[in-house]
Every structure is written in C-alpha cells, then in structure tokens.
Structure 1
Amino acid sequence: MPILNAIVHRIEKPDGAAARLLAAEQPLPPSDALDALLEGLNKAYHAKSKAWGHFRDADDAEGAAPSSLAGELADYLAERRDFVALTRAIAERLAPLVEAHLPLGGDLLCLDTRFSDARFLTLALLHHREGFAVDDTLRVTPARQLNLAQMSLAARLDLAQWQAGDSRQYLSWTRDRGGKALAEGFADLLGAAEGVDASGETRTLLKAFSDYVEREDLPEEASREKTEALIEYASDQASRGEPITLEELSEVLDEQQPKAFYDHIRNADYGLSPAIPPDRKTLNQFKRFAGRAGGVSISFDSHLLGSSVEYDEEHDRLIIKQVPKQLKAQLKGEG
C-alpha cells in the first residue's frame, strides 16, 4: 500500500504534568520500516471494536456542529493546506483530550495511503512499551517500542467514499474501553456521527441467516458448512477492514443458487444495508454448542438456540423441536 504522506506528532504527558505537543515540522521519508509499521497498524486496527459513520452535517441532530476536520481535509485534497498543517491541527485538538482522559501521552501517527482506487487517512495514538533487543555485538540492550496493541484512539477515513458522497459509513473509529467521555470526545474531535450500528447489523445478519437455514430445512452437515462459510467470509472481511457485501455473501453460501440468501433477506425485509461493517465480537459469539455426558452426545449450531432448540434452565433440559430425519428414522425403527 503506497504511502503518500506520513508524519508523527508527539503528545507528552509526564507524571503530574500537563500534556504538551511536540509537533513535527516535516513528513517522514519513505522507508521499509514505515511500510512494515503500516501493515502492522492496519492489522491491529481491523481487530479493534469500532464505530462506523460519517462526518456530521446539516441532516444530523440539531445543535451538532459540522466537522471542522472535513473542511480541513477538503483544503488538503485541493492542495490549499499541506499535510504538516493538517495533522498538526488534529494533534492540537487531541492534546486536551489526552490531558483530560488518558494517564499518559503517546505518538500520533498520521498516514495518507493509496491502494488501487482507494485512498485512506489513518490516525492512531500509539503508546510505548519497554522491550529488549540484541545489538551488533550480541549484547542485550533496552529497546523502546511502539505498542500497536495498545491503541487508545484511532480512526480511518475512506477518502474516495467520502468524496463520492454515496455512503454513510466511510469513517470508522475505535471505541476505547477507557470511558464514555473519552469515546465521545474523540468522536467530537473527528466531527463524526454514527451512520450504522455494526454490532446490531451483524446480529441482524446472523438472525437472517438462522431464519434462512431453518426455512430451507437443511441437513445438519449442510447447515454446518454454510455456517462455517459465513463465519470464514465475514472474519476475512473484518481482518481486511472491508464490509460484508450481502450479494457476495449470498454467492459464497450457495454457488448453485447464488441469489438465494440475498433474495431471502430482501423478501423478508430485515432492513439491512447492502454492505455491513462486520463486528468481530458478535461473529465470535456465533458458535457451535456441544457436550457429552452419560452416553449422550449433543451438538448444534448456536443459531438454532431459541428456534429449533430451546433450553429450559429451570428444569435443566433441552427441547428439540425438529428432530433430524435420520435420527427420527432410527427412533421409529426402535419403537
């Protein structure tokens, strides 16, 4: 992924002292290390829980100011503002947020990258961790490293989608576990408004899939294969930071009838967008239940719980509403 521009601004926050900005005056020169850092940063970012949306505008809640970042970016893309000035303005607004909500400062990495026809602006506040290295004399020496896993605040903007004006989910940003005030403050800094609930959309998609499998009355093996295909496709999209496309997913689930699942969604009117940002946490919860005790072995896909299979917690029993045909035949043979 070619890097068009890159820069690091440092926000220092020594113990007991106020946060202060050490702004860079020049972009970073190209290097193999910077390319490798971008690759690691993308993987770490895609693994994070995120909000998806767009820049605030006149259609959003009354009283919400339009995004100043949107205007600054427009000037940058029109070459009325350089990358140093653009990112320094972002860092200046970020410093008070660090001062108010974070125990330590970090390095604000800003990247303008292009991949094929897509172009992205990526922002990430990275902290440091103490590590070790072996120098040329084979001696162990302390080494201070960027901690990509500890990414307090980060955002990614699809510049092409934003400029095209046909999407409301071109901007994503991390949901920090540090507190609601920090998350809201970062969204305000970006001038962001949520355009889609990734967790809710993913849950609705999985519900639509469960309904589809039940309606088709698929054998257990076919049901398992389609479940695995869905999770594999959705997880791959999440790893790449790409949305789940309903038409593409439908083709993955059934090559013989590539429109079957897509038509099911549209005919049942689940209200899903054509492209859904995958929520990794929700996907990970869509699993297979299994257990064995006293000569009884039971396993079933989690999407069947509450429909074909019910758990009666009070009486500690499972109720199977649709007995598999093969098992039904065996039971009748013993009757």
Structure 2
Amino acid sequence: MTVSSATLYFNRYRLNQESLSLQLQSCSQVSGENALFLAEQLHSSFTKKGQKQYCAFASDSPVLALIEAKSDVQEIADTVASRMLEGLTAETLPAETILVVAHYHHLATDYLLTTLLGVKESVQLSEAISPQRSQSLDIANISLAVQVDLSELSINPDSARSIGYIKGRVGRKIGDFMAEAFAIEEKLNAKEATEQLVESVESFIDVSSQDEETKKAVRDISVNSMKAAAQSGEFMQVKDLAEEIEEKTGLTGFYEHAAEAEDFTEACPVYASATKSMQKFFGQGGGISISFGRELLGDKIEFNAHTQTLTFKKIPPNLLDALKKATKTTD
C-alpha cells in the first residue's frame, strides 16, 4: 500500500422537495485501516483519469486561507461542504451526492482530495452464504474531484500544477460549483498542452526522417511515454522523451525542436485521448464515421488528394459480411 496515513470526512447532499441541505451538520470522520484503503482507492481512481485541468488558488480563496493557517482538516472539510452547497441548486445537483474529503500521505507527498461520489447497489454474501443487498461508493467512476498537492503548494505557492481538477463528464449542466467552492483558476489545460506536444512530435518527424519505420518508432515511443505519464498521474518531461527518442531511434534535437513552440513547457500534463491522432486517422460527418491505423495508409488504404477519396484494398470481415448481406452479393 502506497498511502501511509489517511483521514477521510464524509457528508451527503440531499434534496427535499426543492430545497438542498447537508445530511450532517459536520462531516463524519473516518481513520484507521478503512481510511487507508479508501484513500488508496480514491488516489488510484483519480490518477487514472486523463481529462484533468490544472489549477491554482485565487488569492482570496477561503480554502487556501485555511490551509495556510494550518487549520484542522475537519474545519476545511466542513467549509468545503458548505461552500459547495451554496453553489448547488435542485436543477444542478449531480447524481453523485456523497461528499468525501480525504487528507492522506501518498509516497512522499501530502494530498487533500475532495470528490462527490455516487452510490451503487450490489449483492454481498454473508458468512452463511446468504445473499444480502448492499450499497457501496462508486469510486471507480470518479468524475467530480479536486486534488490539492499540499507538498507542492508549500514549496511553490504559485505553482501551476498544485491542483488537479476533474469538472465532470461532458454535457453535464452542473457549472463549476466545485471550482467556485475552492476558488481555483485554471493554469494549465491538459488537452491543449498534449495537443501541442503531439504537434511538436509530428513536425519533428517531418523534418528529421523520411523512413517510415523510424517515423512509426518515434510515434510509438511518444504514445507509450504519454500513456505511462497519464497512467501514473505524472507530468510528461519533454527532455526525458527527447532522450528516449534519441536512444531508440538515433534522432537528435527533439527537445530543441519542441522548445520552439510558443506555449512550450518543460513538463506537460497528459490528456490521454489527445494522443489518438498519432495512432489513427479518424473523422466523422454526414453519416460517415471512419477510423483506421496510420500504418494502413499507403498499404491497405490509398488516399487521392485530388479527388478527395479513400480506396480500401481490404475491408474488415464483419463489415464485408454486412455489405454482402445488404446488397445480396455472393462470392
């Protein structure tokens, strides 16, 4: 277990007719082995989420003031609970209504993670092997969370990476009530930063090699490194990527090339899905959706820029079968 100490605080948002309230006047506290286990699960689930924004506290943040004053975490948790309640309405109350504020030590770092979790139904077996209905926290589907790196914040108060924020799934009309409760401001957009790094990789390939195998190797190295960074929750170190590209392909100068970008940053937060363009060509519109691996272009798929058409020399078996059935074609 990588979490060495943890204390968690719980509360619930409830809707009574058109009025919202907190179930408890003060968050309930959990410590010991249960807290260690839950903190480990929460940290792991949060880390694996690739769609984060990276933020910093506004100078007038009440939560920052409490942290700087070294206030008891119970007070911080109760303040967060109340401030989030102020930003919610009956219309914007998300399905996740269990508030969890976790203060824990992971490896060499101190964290404060706040999230709203849903509850899922499940069935457990008693010692007598009798099935019993139960409820559990839906930690795996964490989608509303703020993680404050207290260690980073203490060393560098102006850090652009001290706060990671998941604001919810696309299309959820819940506003930014969590960001407002903490009074945090976006500093790094992970998706834009990743897209910039991908562009740097592609432009470096264009000017550095004409060999298709080498191009593929650089893309594979970059994708694997970015995925590893996203999985671990670490920022992508551009210098480390440049060294790996040089070591495995012999191509030099990637770091200097990437540094020419206007918004270059030494360490890049990784938005995992933004690496997709290095692996596949994809697009949709007009009732058509197409996706295929880059390595197929020029091999099993030909593109005619003049006529703006694609020619497929090989069709996936299930698609071929469906087309034959639709057109009543036989071999």
Q: TM-score range by the shorter chain?
A: 0.7 to 0.9
Whether 1:252 aligns to 2:244 is: yes
Unaligned runs of 5+ in 2: 283-291, 312-331
1:221 counterpart residue number: 213
Distance (whole Å) between structure 2 residues aligned to residue 107 and residue 37 of structure 1: 14
Shift of 1:181: 6.0
* Native 8 Å contact 2:50 2:270 kept in 1: no
* Native 8 Å contact 1:7 1:24 kept in 2: no
1:10 counterpart residue number: 12
State the Cα RMSD in Å.
3.0
Distance (whole Å) between structure 2 residues aligned to residue 250 and residue 15 of structure 1: 58
Distance (whole Å) between structure 2 residues aligned to residue 196 and residue 221 of structure 1: 34
Q: What TM-score does the superposition give when structure 1 sets the normalisation length?
A: 0.77
2:39 counterpart residue number: 38
Distance (whole Å) between structure 1 residues aligned to residue 177 and residue 266 of structure 2: 30
| Within-5 A mapping of 1:71-90 | 71-76=65-70, 81-90=71-80
In the superposition, relative to structure 1, how do residues 25 and 168 fare at CA in structure 2: closer, same or farther (>3 Å)? closer
SS of alignment partner, residue 182 of structure 1? coil
Whether 1:262 aligns to 2:263 is: no
Amino acid at match of 2:134: A
Distance (whole Å) between structure 2 residues aligned to residue 316 and residue 225 of structure 1: 28
Whether 1:155 aligns to 2:146 is: yes
Shift of 1:221: 2.0
2:99 counterpart residue number: 108
Distance (whole Å) between structure 1 residues aligned to residue 8 and residue 155 of structure 2: 24
SS of alignment partner, residue 156 of structure 1? strand
Shift of 1:207: 0.5
* Native 8 Å contact 1:208 1:270 kept in 2: no
2:193 counterpart residue number: 201
Identity of aligned residues (%): 17
In the superposition, relative to structure 1, how do residues 72 and 14 fare at CA in structure 2: closer, same or farther (>3 Å)? same
Distance (whole Å) between structure 2 residues aligned to residue 14 and residue 239 of structure 1: 40
2:174 counterpart residue number: 182
| Within-5 A mapping of 1:61-80 | 66-76=60-70
Distance (whole Å) between structure 2 residues aligned to residue 183 and residue 13 of structure 1: 18
Q: Can you list the C-alpha shifts for 1:101-148, whole angstroms capped at 9, x where unaligned? A: 115462211122223432211111111011111111111111101112
Shift of 1:10: 2.4
Distance (whole Å) between structure 2 residues aligned to residue 136 and residue 313 of structure 1: 71
In the superposition, relative to structure 1, how do residues 49 and 41 fare at CA in structure 2: closer, same or farther (>3 Å)? same
In the superposition, relative to structure 1, how do residues 250 and 301 fare at CA in structure 2: closer, same or farther (>3 Å)? farther
1:231 pairs with one of 198, 215, 223:
223
Amino acid at match of 2:45: A
Whether 1:96 aligns to 2:86 is: yes
In the superposition, relative to structure 1, how do residues 117 and 105 fare at CA in structure 2: closer, same or farther (>3 Å)? closer
| Within-5 A mapping of 1:44-63 | 44-46=45-47, 47-57=49-59
